[in-house]
Amino acid sequence: MISFSRGQKGKLADLGCQSAFPVTLDIAANGLSLDVSCFGLDGADKLSDDRYMVFFNQLASPGGEVKLALNGSKAEFAVNLDALPAAICKLVFVAAIDGNGTMRTVGASSMTLGGGARFEWSGADFQDEKAVIVGEIYRKDGVWRFGAVGQGFNGGLSSLLAHFGGTESGSPAQKAAPAAVPAAPPPPAAPPEKKVSLSKVTLEKRGDKVSLDKASGSKGYGRIHVNLNWNTGAPPPAAKTGFLSRLANLGGGPKGIDLDLGCMYEMADGTPGLVQALGNAWGAYERRPFIKLEADDRSGQNKDGENITINGDQFNDIKRALIFAFIYEGAPNWAATDGVVTIKMPDQAPIEVRLDQGGNQMMCAIAMIENKGGNLQVTKLAEYYAQQGNSSAHELMDRRFGFGLRWTTGSKD
C-alpha cells in the first residue's frame, strides 16, 4: 500500500484500484459528533444532481454507484466508478462536525482506497475549522486519479453543501425579480428543485425525547427503520475469568464484538412479545407484531449493522416498543463499541441515539418508541443491565419496564 501525503496525487491504475473498490475513512473523533459524506461533482466542480450527495440521510446514489456504510469510527464507501454517469467527474470525501468543537480535536485518522493507497491525517493539521475535505477521486484526461487533500473548511456540512452548489431543504429561497407582463404564454413550469435535507435529531441525554406527527393525509408513518451500528473490531478487555471470559473469547483468540439488536413490545390490546435472534424470534412486518428483525449476521462482514423494521402504517396496533442491544460475543465494554442507533422513517429527520455510557454490563435498553394518542414518541433510555444471580439481564430489563414476559435460556446456535 502506498502512503500519500497532503497534496500528493496519483493514478488509480498505478495504485492497483480497479473500477470498484472501498474507500474507508477511519476518524478518531475524540468525543466529537462527525458526519462523513461524499459529493459527486460535475465538470464544474458542482453538485448539479443532489442525489449524488451520499451521507447519513442518503446512504446511496441513485444507481448504487456509491454506497455508505457506517461502522463505529469508520465510514466505508463502496465505489463503482464504471457505473457512474458521465456527468459525474469527481468524488469528494469530507468530514464535518455536527455541533460544538473544532477539527483540531480529531486524533490520528486515515483515508484508504482498497489496498492501494493510504492518506494519514490528524487534527494537528488544523485550527478552528469545522470540516475537512479529506480526499478526492477525479477523472482527468479520461483517467481516474486520487488526490490527498487534507484541506480545512470553516463551515460545517451545510456550508460545504452550499460551497459545492447544492441546495439545503428549508433554506430561504432567493428573492425573485418582478416579473414583466409576458408577450406570449409562459413556458411550462420547471419541475420543483430537489433539495438536500441535512436535518437530524440527536437525543443527547437519558430521558430526552422527540414526538413526531404523521404527515398530513398519511395513514401512518410508513416503514420505520431502526439500525444499530458499532465498531466490530473493538479490542477485547483484559483477561477475566468465568462467564465474562467466554463473552470475550479468551483462549480462542480475540474476536470482534457481536451486538444483537432486539425489541420488547406491547400491542395496543396489551399482548407483550419479543423480537430478537436468540430463540429465532424474528417477528413479522406484514402481520402482528408488525415488527421484524432482519437476519442476524455473526460473520462480522455485514457493514450495515443490525436492523429492525416496524410497519408504521400499522402503528395504531402498537402501544410501545423497547429497542435494546445485547453483547452476545466480544468485549463487555460499551465504551469500546462506539454504538449508535438510528431511527429513520419517510419524510422525517433521522433520530440518533448513541450508546455512550455503561460499563461491562451485557444489556442496554436504548430507546422506547411509544404510541402517544396516535403520535410517535421516541425517548432515550440508555439504561444498562448485568445478570444478577439467576436473573438474566433480559429479565431484569423486562421487570424494569413491566412487559411481563417469561424467560428461559436461549441460543442462536
pLDDT in tens, 7-25: 999 999 999 999 999 999 9
Please write the tens of the pLDDT for every residue from 141-154. Answer: 999 999 999 999 98
CATH class of 2-164: mainly beta
Mean pLDDT of 76-105: 94
Residue 413 predicted with pLDDT over 90 = no
Residue 137 predicted with pLDDT over 80 = yes
Residue 408 predicted with pLDDT over 80 = no
* Greater model confidence, 254 or 203: 203
Q: Does residue 45 sit in helix, strand or coil?
A: coil
Q: What is the largest distance, in Å, between two alpha-carbon atoms of the chain?
A: 87
Percent of the chain with pLDDT over 70: 84
Cα–Cα distances (Å) from 131 to 28, 195, 333, 340, 354, in that order, read 14, 21, 30, 21, 21
- Listed in sequence order, the residues at least 6 apart from 26 whose beta carbon sits closer than 8 Å to its beta carbon are 73, 74, 109, 110, 111, 112
Task: Quote the pTM value.
Answer: 0.69
Mean pLDDT of 327-333: 73
- Listed in sequence order, the residues at least 6 apart from 37 whose beta carbon sits closer than 8 Å to its beta carbon are 53, 54, 55, 56, 93, 94, 95, 96, 157, 160
201-233+256-401: CATH topology = Lipoxygenase-1 (2.60.60)
Percent of the chain with pLDDT over 90: 57
Closest CA to 298 of 284, 277, 282: 277
Beta bridge partners of 262: 324
**pLDDT recorded at residue 215:** 65
d(CA 12, CA 197): 32
Residue listed under C-alpha cell 484500484: 17
* Greater model confidence, 225 or 333: 225
Asked if domains 2-164 and 201-233+256-401 share a fold, the reply is yes
Please write the tens of the pLDDT for every residue from 30-40. Answer: 888 889 999 99
Could you state, in order of their start, the residue ranges of all structural domains in the chain? 2-164, 201-233+256-401
